[in-house]
A and B are shown apart, each in its own frame.
Chain A
């Protein structure tokens, strides 16, 4: 099964809001509410930002929020900051693999 589809890059100015999409199928995002999001700075370990579509672990800034519509999940970063420049990956439980990551999105703060 192919990776979930994310835009290769998204950019925004400080203070703006950006949204990263993660598109799957009825085998994954379309059926299950088990989408998580991870932030990875260069050379660093992925960090959990969102779990089960829209839940934020303690310690994660409330500038990060998640949602889902149909087979597409989204991560929104509000009040964009320089420290948000990183790669972002979605992940979904699936009926086949059973965990599938997205292709990854590089966020650039202009």
Chain B
């Protein structure tokens, strides 16, 4: 059974860098079959896709966040990470990591499973 678990500071000061990790169990992130994603949800609001990384290290980011986001892999720990710099209160949200599956010869895909999420608050 594949499981994901987010970890990282729950409080970040404005203008600093938000750093989160997602530990994956039950499958190797090097398997080459899946993409690994970050998604966030401000309290009481909808979901926003942040970005994804493939086993090759190729990344894709939401254009609205692209200038501030970096997603990376650590295959030795079977985890991937998110860095979001120059944060403001608008970045306060529950951050989820999720696996993206794509059917052969397709472009899109679906997010499953998801980690339990971690609340990150941006405040001084």
Give chain B residues whose Cβ lies under 8 Å from the Cβ of A64.
none
A3 near B108: Cβ-Cβ < 8 Å: no
Residues in A with CB closer than 8 Å to B110 are 36, 48, 51-52, 91
Q: Is the CB of B46 within 8 A of A46?
A: no
Any chain A CB within 8 A of the CB of B103?
A: yes
Given contacts A45-B96, A45-B116, A97-B63, A32 and B47 within 8 Å (CB-CB): no
Q: Give A51's nearest chain B residue, CB to CB.
A: B110
Of all chain A residues, the one with the shortest Cβ separation from B101 is A51
- Residues of chain B lying within 8 A (CB to CB) of residue A97: 49, 62-63
Known: A45-B116, A45-B117, A101-B47. A93 touches B107 (CB 8 A): yes
A96 proximal to B (CB < 8 A): yes
Q: How far is the CA of A99 from the CA of B108 in the complex (A)?
A: 8
Whether the pair A104, B62 counts as a contact (CB closer than 8 A) is no
Q: Which residues of A contact B47 (CB under 8 A)?
A: 38, 46, 89, 91, 101, 104
> Which chain A positions have C-beta within 8 A of B37?
99
Considering only residues 61-110 of chain A, those with a C-beta below 8 Å from chain B are 89, 91-93, 96-104
Tell me whether A32 and B48 are in contact (CB under 8 A). no
Q: Is the CB of B117 within 8 A of A38?
A: no
Interface pair A45/B115, CB less than 8 Å apart? yes
A46–B111 CB distance below 8 A: yes
Point out the residues of chain A lying under 8 angstroms from B103, CB to CB.
52
Contacting pair A34 B117 (CB below 8 A)? no
What are the residues of chain A within 8 A of B46 when measuring CB–CB? 3, 89, 101-104
Q: How far is the CA of A99 from the CA of B110 in the complex (A)?
A: 10
Q: Which residues of A contact B (CB under 8 A)?
A: 1, 3, 32-36, 38, 45-46, 48, 51-52, 57, 89, 91-93, 96-104
